[in-house]
C-alpha cells in the first residue's frame, strides 16, 4: 500500500468545510510518493501532502512558533527522516488532514509528531491573529 492509498481521516476537524482547492484534493488523492513534501522545523522532518500554496502557508504559520526559519522540501531531506515511527507512518492508515484556508495539508508522521506539528500550526495561527490585531490597533 502506498502512502497516499491509505484512507484519509479528518481528526479534530469535524464540521470543517470540504476542501475547495482542486490542487490540494489532487495531491491528497495522488497515488505516487512523489507528491510528499517535508517540513523542516528545528529538529523535526515531517512528511506533508498538499498543494504548493497551502503547504507554503502551513509552513509559514508553523514558523511563528520558532526562532528558526522553517524549510519546505519537495524531496527527502539529506539526513532522511530521523524518527523511526515517522519513517513508517506513510504506510499507516488514518493521517490527519488539517484545513489550511480553502485547502488542506495531510501529515504523514507518527502520532507524536502529528500532534506536535498540528499544535504548532494552531499556535502559529493564534500568534498571527494577535500580531494582526496589534498592527490593526496601531493603524487606528
Q: Which residues contact 94 (CB under 8 A, 6 or more apart)?
A: 6, 7, 9, 11
Q: Compute the chain's Rg from CA coordinates.
A: 15
For residues 113 and 137, what is the distance between their CA atoms, to the nearest angstrom?
36
Task: Give the per-residue pLDDT at 116.
Answer: 95
Tens digits of per-residue pLDDT, 71-99? 999 988 888 888 888 888 777 777 889 99
Task: Tell me which residue of 48, 57, 1, 9 sits closest to 27, measured CA to CA.
Answer: 48
Domain ranges, ordered by start, for the chain = 8-132
Tens digits of per-residue pLDDT, 27-76? 888 745 557 899 999 888 999 999 999 999 999 999 999 999 999 999 88
Cell of 123: 499556535
Task: Give the per-residue pLDDT at 90.
Answer: 75
Q: Is 12 a residue whose pLDDT tops 50?
A: no
pTM recorded for the entire structure: 0.81
- DSSP codes joined into one string, the chain: --TTTSPEE-TT-TTPPPP--HHHHHHHH--SGGG-EEEEETTEEEEEES-HHHHHHHHHHHHTT-SSPPEEESS--TT----HHHHHGGGSS-EEEEEETTEEEEE-S-HHHHHHHHHHHHHHHHHHHHHHHHHHHHT-
Amino acid at each position: 500500500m502506498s502512502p497516499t492509498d491509505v484512507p484519509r481521516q479528518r481528526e479534530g476537524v469535524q464540521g470543517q468545510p470540504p476542501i475547495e482547492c482542486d490542487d490540494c484534493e489532487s495531491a491528497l488523492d495522488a497515488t505516487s510518493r512523489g507528491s510528499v513534501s517535508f517540513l523542516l522545523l528545528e529538529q523535526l522532518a515531517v512528511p506533508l501532502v498538499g498543494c504548493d500554496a497551502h503547504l507554503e502557508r502551513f509552513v509559514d504559520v508553523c514558523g511563528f512558533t520558532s526562532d528558526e526559519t522553517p524549510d519546505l522540501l519537495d524531496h527527502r531531506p539529506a539526513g532522511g527522516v530521523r524518527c523511526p515511527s515517522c519513517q513508517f507512518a506513510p504506510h499507516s492508515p488514518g493521517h490527519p488532514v488539517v484545513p489550511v484556508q480553502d485547502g488542506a495539508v495531510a501529515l504523514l508522521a507518527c502520532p507524536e509528531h502529528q500532534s506536535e506539528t498540528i499544535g504548532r500550526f494552531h499556535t502559529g495561527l493564534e500568534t498571527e491573529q494577535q500580531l494582526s490585531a496589534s498592527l490593526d490597533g496601531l493603524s487606528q
